[in-house]
Amino acid sequence: MIRIIAVGKLKEKALSMLVEEYTKRLRPFTKLEIVEVADESAPMSNSDASNAMVKEKEGERILAKIKDNEYVILLDLWGEMMSSEAFAKKLEQLQTYSTSNLTFVIAGSLGPGENVYRRCNARLKLSEMTFTHQMTRVILLEQVYRAYMIRNHNPYHK
């Protein structure tokens, strides 16, 4: 099972349609669940302390959705980058030898709180570029789908 826990709702129809498309494509390969948690309004002061408070509150909402037996991969600007092939191999290894319950976390616009960092088992960086957390959801779904295509020797990857 693949779960994605994301802060905030998808607001753009085009992105929602892409999420639906990749959700449909993944059905034959894995159970997929997307969980949205509310984002916290950032105070106008935008100080380090207020940002930390926002990240901590969003983190509490994320952590409330994670079960003990889940392997948690945080999408993080300072995470490990890997090729699509390496990502496919990593998912296969985790689902074969560790756990079938993989949870990806997409934090809010300010990033994850320390509480989320402490809970994650791995950190993944999708790119050197920065994407909105809403676009990140689509990019992650496409890469998960691509990983299953690679594992099944499907020409989609080429």
Split at pLDDT 50, 70, 90, the class of 156 is confident
Q: How many domains does the chain have?
A: 1
What is the reported pLDDT for 124?
98
Split at pLDDT 50, 70, 90, the class of 41 is confident
Mean pLDDT, range 103-128, rounded to an integer: 96
What is the reported pLDDT for 73?
98
What is the reported pLDDT for 45?
75
Binding residues for S-adenosyl-L-methionine are 75, 107, 126-131
Task: Single out the residue of 151, 126, 156, 157 nearest to residue 4, CA to CA.
Answer: 126
Between CA 36 and CA 51 the distance in angstroms is 20
Which range marks the domain in which residue 72 is found? Answer: 2-157
- What dihedral do alpha carbons 4, 142, 71, 51 form, nearest 10°? -50
pLDDT at 158 over 70: no
Q: Which residues contact 87 (CB under 8 A, 6 or more apart)?
A: 124, 143, 146, 147
CATH of the domain at 132: 3.40.1280.10
What is the reported pLDDT for 142?
97
Question: Which residue, chain included where needed, has tokens 């449909």?
Answer: 24
Among the residues of 6-153, which ranges form H helices? 13-26, 48-63, 84-93, 114-119, 133-151
Question: Which residue, chain included where needed, has tokens 């929602």?
Answer: 16
Q: In what order do the strands lie in the sheet with 71-80?
A: 32-37, 2-7, 102-106, 71-80, 122-124
Binding residues are 75, 107, 126-131
What is the reported pLDDT for 31?
96
pLDDT one-digit tens code per residue, 75-105? 999 999 999 999 999 999 999 887 779 999 9
* pTM score over 0.75: yes
Mean pLDDT, range 15-22, rounded to an integer: 97
Kind of pairing between the strands at 32-37 and 102-106: unpaired
Report the mean per-residue pLDDT for the chain.
Answer: 94
Split at pLDDT 50, 70, 90, the class of 157 is low
What is the reported pLDDT for 149?
96
pLDDT at 147 over 90: yes
What burial class does residue 7 get, using C-beta atoms within 10 Å of its C-beta: 0-12 exposed, 13-18 middle, 19+ buried?
buried
